[in-house]
Amino acid sequence: MTNSQADRPTNHDGATRLTTPFSSRATAEEVIAGVDLTGRRAVVTGGASGLGAATVRALAAAGAEVTIATRSPRSADPVVEELAGIAGVGRVRAEALDLSDLASVDAFARAWRGPLDILVANAGIMALPALALTPGGWEAQLATNYLGHFALATGLHAALRDAGSARVVVVSSGAHRNVPFDFDDPHFARRPYDPWTAYGQSKSADVLLAVGARRWAADGITANALNPGYILTGLQRHLDDDTMRAFGVMDGDGNLKPLPYYKTPAQGASTSVLLAASPLLNGVTGRYFEDNQEARMVAGDEDTPGGVAAHALAPDAADRLWEYGTTAVLGG
Percent share of the chain, pLDDT over 70: 85
The residue from 146, 193, 199, 324 that is catalytic is 199
* Biggest alpha carbon–alpha carbon distance for the chain: 59
191 Rama sector, left if φ>0, alpha if ψ -120 to 50, beta otherwise: beta
Quote the percentage of the chain above a pLDDT of 90. Answer: 76
Indicate if the pLDDT at residue 194 is higher than 80.
yes
pLDDT of residue 2: 30
Q: What angle do CA 264, 29, 289 make, to 5 degrees?
A: 70
Greater pLDDT, 246 or 73: 73
Which has the closest alpha carbon to 221: 69, 114, 119, 140?
A: 119
Q: Position 130: which residue type?
A: A
CA distance 182 to 201: 7
Give yes or no for a contact between 139 and 198, defined as CB atoms under 8 angstroms apart: yes
Measure the CA–CA gap between 292 and 30, rounded to whole angstroms: 11
DSSP SS3 for 131: coil
Pairing outcome for strands 92-96 and 118-121:
unpaired
Residue 119, strand partner residues? 43, 168
- DSSP code of residue 264: P
Evaluate if residue 201 carries a pLDDT over 70: yes
Q: Average pLDDT, whole number, for the chain?
A: 89
Q: Give the confidence band of 72 by pLDDT, cuts at 50, 70, 90.
A: very high
- Rounded Cα distance between 147 and 127, Å, is 17
Q: How many residues does the chain have?
A: 332
Q: Is the pLDDT of residue 146 over 90?
A: yes
In angstroms, the CA 157 to CA 106 distance is 12
Residue 199 appears among annotated catalytic residues: yes
The Cα–Cα gap between 323 and 75 comes to 34
The CA angle 74-274-126, to the nearest 5 degrees, is: 50
Residue 269 banded pLDDT, cuts 50, 70, 90: very high
* Strand ranges across the sheet with 221-227: 92-96, 65-70, 41-45, 118-121, 166-171, 221-227, 288-290, 293-294
Segment 303-314 shows an average pLDDT of 90
Confidence of residue 256 (pLDDT cuts 50, 70, 90): low
Lowest mean pLDDT segment, chosen from 81-90, 159-168, 201-210, 260-269? 260-269
pLDDT band at 127 (very low <50, low <70, confident <90, very high): confident
CB 241 within 8 A of CB 250: yes
Q: What is the pLDDT of residue 11?
A: 62
Q: Which residues have C-beta within 8 Å of that of residue 25, sequence separation ≥ 6?
A: 263, 267
Does the pLDDT value for residue 5 go beyond 60?
no
Euclidean distance between CA atoms 224 and 289, whole angstroms: 8
175-198 mean pLDDT: 95
